[in-house]
Every structure is written in structure tokens, then in C-alpha cells.
Amino acid sequence: MPDSAFTAGSPTRARIDLTEGRPVYVIGGGPGGLAAAAALREQGVRAVVLEKSENVGASWRHHYDRLHLHTTRRWSALPGLAMPRRFGRWVARDDVVRYLEKYVEHHRLEVVTGVEVSRIDRAPDGTGWQLSATGGRILTGRAVIVATGYNHTPRIPDWSGRDTFTGDLVHACGYRNPAPYAGRDVLVVGIGNTGAEIAADLVEGGASRVRIAVRTVPHIVRRSTAGWPAQATGILVRRLPVRLVDAAGGLMARIAVPDLAGQGLPRPDTGLYSRVKDGAIPVQDVGLIDAVKSGRVVPVAAVESFDKDVVVLADGDRITPDAVIAATGYRRALEELVGHLDVLDARGRPVVHGGRTPKQAPGLYFTGFTNPISGMLRELALDAQKIAKKLACTG
């Protein structure tokens, strides 16, 4: 029997003119782009998704094997299609990919793969936008939605001596599972959600020694406490005053998370929500707390430099791991695409998102470039509906 969540009735499509020569172009075939295209179709607006890889959900296909969503199935679904209950509460990476594939089929989305957009400009006639794409293509659309993703281009700091390191050095995007690291001494650099989960995965997978380099002590929260997901709290407090949420977060941390200062991971000296507003999402625990508490993952100082087989830490310690996994984040990499349009801030992030467009660039929308405490996929779904309503109203 087919899963009922995947066989629900299709949205109304009678109003859509599929011969429309100037569609809305959506750049990126990940969750944000697909959600926006589906919401537009529901509003009777033609949308064409341009995806540079050969499949939708490309970044999800390349995440590490053990990854599960840190947000619940219920609050991770995109507009117009629930996630099947058989996926469980915390949806696995492969099931996210299956869902995105089914989402395209269910909504009959127009997706063109193997096309990378390199630059966006105003259309020569002043109405709409012109896209320069793979193979010399020039495409013109009435509006553009940029949904190329929060995790776009891997970033590895330019550490002094990095090129001399004789061990293995990879970005976290190249990590799949702990098998290649069994019996080896591994340093994970970065203690965001990715670094924390990889460290726990390495311990469980048989690495002989696992250390994690910490530049800024993170806030750690339980993914779920007595059945109550951390995401639900994030949704409830998102619009409350920062000071109030900081105070409540500090109290909850003392109740739910043990003091790990003795193991080298003290509590942060800044508030949880203050950090979120600055772009740092709390680490949701999926094994790190127990691993640190038991000494199986050892926090160390930040990486300062490399010297052949040695990694020099900020506190002066010199260690010799067999391998280094850099969980050091990504760049949005929007500068070449839209940097000339004055729509990015000093950190390379869009100045607006969701249903708003920059004053100097009407018809240019962005989604998926924030990392909200209430859950990325939930906010992508909300953004998609806001954008679709705006474009439906503007004709």
C-alpha cells in the first residue's frame, strides 16, 4: 500500500499558463527552492527551478551517513506534502532525499538540472531579470528567487602551514562515516552541530582517540527533554525579548545539561539567544555530552597552525593526530551571483529574505540564508508561502 502522505490530492493547477515566456526562476533545487516553486504553482504562477547538479537535494545526498534532522518530522515538511509517519520523529538523511524527490513529482514541478546560474542582472528592457547560465544560456524571468543554500561552499581556514600537514585533512563535507578512521587518532575542528555529531560518530565507530578543537564554547541543548523537542521551545520564544530568552535558556541548561567544565567544556559566558541573533545556533546533543563526560571526546583549544605532522593549538599545545576533519562551516558564495547589485551585507548575506525584496532590486527574492532557532525547514516553508503570495499579487 502506498503511504497516504505521498498520495494526497494534487494542488489546483488550472490557472497556470505553462506557455508563459517569462516565468519566475528559482535558483537551487534544495528544500527552499522546491518549496518556493510549489507555493508559486499553488498560486497559479509558473516557476522553473534551475539546479546545477543532476538531482534535487544535492547537498543532502552528500551529508554524512548518520545525519538525522534536528527538527521534528511534523515541523520539517514543505508546503503541500506531509512527511510520512514511517520516517519517524527525527527524519534520516536518505528519507529527506526521498521526500524531496517525491515532492517534485507530487507538485509536478518544472525542474531543470545541470544548469548553473553564474550571474543575475536586470533585464535590458528594465522589466524582470536576466540570468547568465551554463553553456552561454541567457534566461529572462519576471522575478528570481535565490535558494542556493546556507551550506554552499566549504570553508577551511587558511591556517599557517596547512599545506605542510602530513596527515589527512578534509572538510566535514567529505566525511561520510567513521570506517576510514577506525583505530586512528582524529582531531575534529569546530564544535557546531556538524562537528559535535561527527566527533560522537567517530567514537562510536572505533576511532582510537577523538579530540575536538573549540574556539568559542557553544550552547548545548538536549534535542528533546521528556518528549518536548528543543525546536518547539525555539518556535515559542523566537519573538520574545532576547534578554528574557537568554535568562530562561541559562536556567534550562543548568537543569538539563551537566557541567562539563572539568572536561574542558565550560558553560558559555554569553546568552543563548544573543548568540543566535549573531548567527550561532545551539548544538543539539546527539551523543556529545556523554562522550565528553566519559572522556571519549576531549575538548582542546582552537587550531592555530600546522607544522608537518604537528597541529599547534592556541594554548601552545602541540598534538599529532593522524587525521583532521575541519567542521569549519561554509560560505554563502553569493558575491559573483548578485554582489554587484548591492543586495548583500558586509558578511555576504542577503539584506532581506522571504517575502521582502531589496528596494534597489524589486523582484529579487532570497530564501534559506538564515539559520533560525525555530528550524530551517519550517522557516523555508513559511518563506515560500510569503514569496508566492507576494508574486501572485504583483501579477
- Flag whether pLDDT at 382 surpasses 50: yes
What the chain holds in terms of domains, given with CATH numbers, is: 22-152+332-394 (3.50.50.60), 156-326 (3.50.50.60)
153-202, pLDDT tens digit by residue? 899 999 999 999 999 999 999 999 999 999 999 999 999 999 999 999 99
The interaxial angle of helices 93-107 and 31-42, nearest 10 deg, is 20
d(CA 212, CA 297): 7
Q: What is the DSSP string of 105-171?
A: HHHT-EEEES--EEEEEE-TTSSSEEEEEGGGEEEEESEEEE---SS-EE-----BTGGG--SEEEE
What is the pLDDT at residue 114?
96
Tally DSSP H helices, then E strands, for the chain. 10, 22
Q: Is the pTM of this model over 0.85?
A: yes
Q: How far apart are CA 290 and CA 222, in angstroms?
A: 12
| DSSP string for residues in 285-310 | ESSHHHHHHTTSEEEEEPEEEEETTE
Confidence of residue 279 (pLDDT cuts 50, 70, 90): confident
- Percent of the chain predicted with pLDDT > 90: 81
Q: Are 49 and 112 in contact (CB under 8 A)?
A: yes
Determine the average pLDDT of the residues in 64-78.
Answer: 95
* Cell 605532522 -> residue: 309
Tell whether the model's pLDDT for residue 9 goes beyond 60. no
Q: Tell me how far apart the alpha carbons of residues 188 and 198 are, in angstroms, rounded to a whole number.
A: 8
**Cβ atoms within 10 Å, residue 254:** 11
| Helix/strand/coil for 257 | coil
135, 254, 257 from 267: Cα distances, Å: 52, 9, 10
Percent of the chain predicted with pLDDT > 70: 94
> Terminus-to-terminus CA distance in the chain, angstroms?
41
Chain Cα centroid distance, residue 108: 25
Q: 217-249 as b/e, with b when 16 or more CB fall inside 10 Å?
A: bbbbbbbbeeeebbbbbbbebeeeeeeebbebb
What pLDDT, in 10s, does the model give residues 211-231?
Answer: 999 999 999 999 988 888 989
Whether residue 13 has pLDDT greater than 50: no
- Write out pLDDT tens, residues 74-117: 999 999 999 999 999 999 999 999 999 999 999 999 999 999 99
